[in-house]
A and B are shown apart, each in its own frame.
Chain A
């Protein structure tokens, strides 16, 4: 047991270094996906027929193909047409593209769930259509989508681990390298799993606080 702790302790700096990459990929991908997700959701609900089809096509394409395939297309496919990303940036772009589609669907469901009377009330006080969407529908859609969105945030935190496949030295990548050097795969993956668990628990607590704050305001 003390061997185990000594091994974990000795490799903790490398794993934590990897965790920094994990968090970087996650934050950038989630923020990018958040902005793109809203654009797609609004385009799909309120857009003209062409934007609706484009948004729907994007969402179906991304949801219909594996994240790993998307990531290899970004990292190894795009260089053939002259677009070259570092492994870290490629992981951010690929996971961002992926989560955008899922976030868009949660936001769209939120928009659809806002009661029609809210829109009528906004128009009745003289707000324009655009103002009503911006000040009333989208803020309410966000609150409705929040529980589903929280789920997506947590899932994506764990999905950053696929970035090891394009040689990003994030948490999973570091664990794999340490395992290959030491042959202590079982031990090192357990430590990595515990770090993921701690990260997810912290994020879950934070999301709970946010959800509680908004609970009254739906």
Chain B
């Protein structure tokens, strides 16, 4: 069932309903290893629901999701094992509030991977250092700023050594000063070749890092293409309207939070 050797995730004809309301309507997408895919669109387009479906946090009503050569949507799929291969970064961080930063990073390594404390600690310290917060090892989440919490949550996901990272509006809950530090960490992941799917309203950032961009509206993929195509040469009127609307809203904001690559 798998396509080319580099294909990492395949989603076909995914449909998701909340009661009578269809939030995802026949969504298909492919992710190749090392690819960075951006998902943009207006609020209520189903972007967050889609990305939550991709690691099984939301059940789906129809369609298939494959990770490598394993079907997530199979009835007998070992979802816990599959989830541990997919990193997920939440809009509101969701660090475990009762645990130190260290234990946030080590919980999955110890309980899911079954590593000994010393082994888990080595990995956790390395990942925390990677997001530039090594000195916060003993801190509790409540002692960190929003941006720091989000970087720790990225480190927590990375500690599991995922094959794919999903980002659900990772900077939407942050104050403007914190956004840059989180985007910087994500940019380093892009440079390291991590496969990523990013739902975001940071248009400049998506345009700078994404290999491929999906524009969604009302639960459907309206248009998919290179960042250049979506942001500058969109075929669909709907896409152009969205991009132009954002651009108009940004007039007067001189600096570019994404900083060109």
Instruction: Give the B-binding residues of A (Cβ under 8 A).
Output: 115, 117-118, 120-128, 131, 135-136, 139-140, 143, 216-218
Q: Flag if B160 contacts A139 (CB, 8 Å).
A: no
| Band of interface residues on B | 20 to 34
Closest Cβ–Cβ distance, residue B211 to chain A (whole Å):
24
CB contacts (< 8 Å) of A115 on chain B: these are 94
Binds A, one of B95-103, B122-130, B246-254: B95-103
Beta-carbon nearest neighbor of A129 in chain B: B80
* Complex Cα spacing A122 to B98, Å: 13
Q: Flag if A121 contacts B80 (CB, 8 Å).
A: no
CB contacts (< 8 Å) of A217 on chain B: these are 97-99, 140, 142
Given contacts A140-B97, A217-B97, contact A120 B80 (CB under 8 A): no
Instruction: Give the A-binding residues of B (Cβ under 8 A).
Output: 55, 57, 80-81, 83-88, 90, 92, 94-99, 107-108, 111-112, 140, 142-143, 153, 156-157, 160
Beta-carbon nearest neighbor of B55 in chain A: A124
CB contacts (< 8 Å) of B83 on chain A: these are 123-126
Q: Flag if B94 contacts A216 (CB, 8 Å).
A: no
CB contacts (< 8 Å) of A136 on chain B: these are 96, 98
Tell me which of A120, A139, A140, A143 has the highest count of chain B C-beta atoms within 10 A of its own C-beta. A120
**CB < 8 Å neighbour of A125 from B99, B107, B140, B142:** B107
Q: Flag if A121 contacts B81 (CB, 8 Å).
A: no
* Complex Cα spacing A123 to B92, Å: 16
* Complex Cα spacing A122 to B96, Å: 8
Beta-carbon nearest neighbor of B97 in chain A: A218
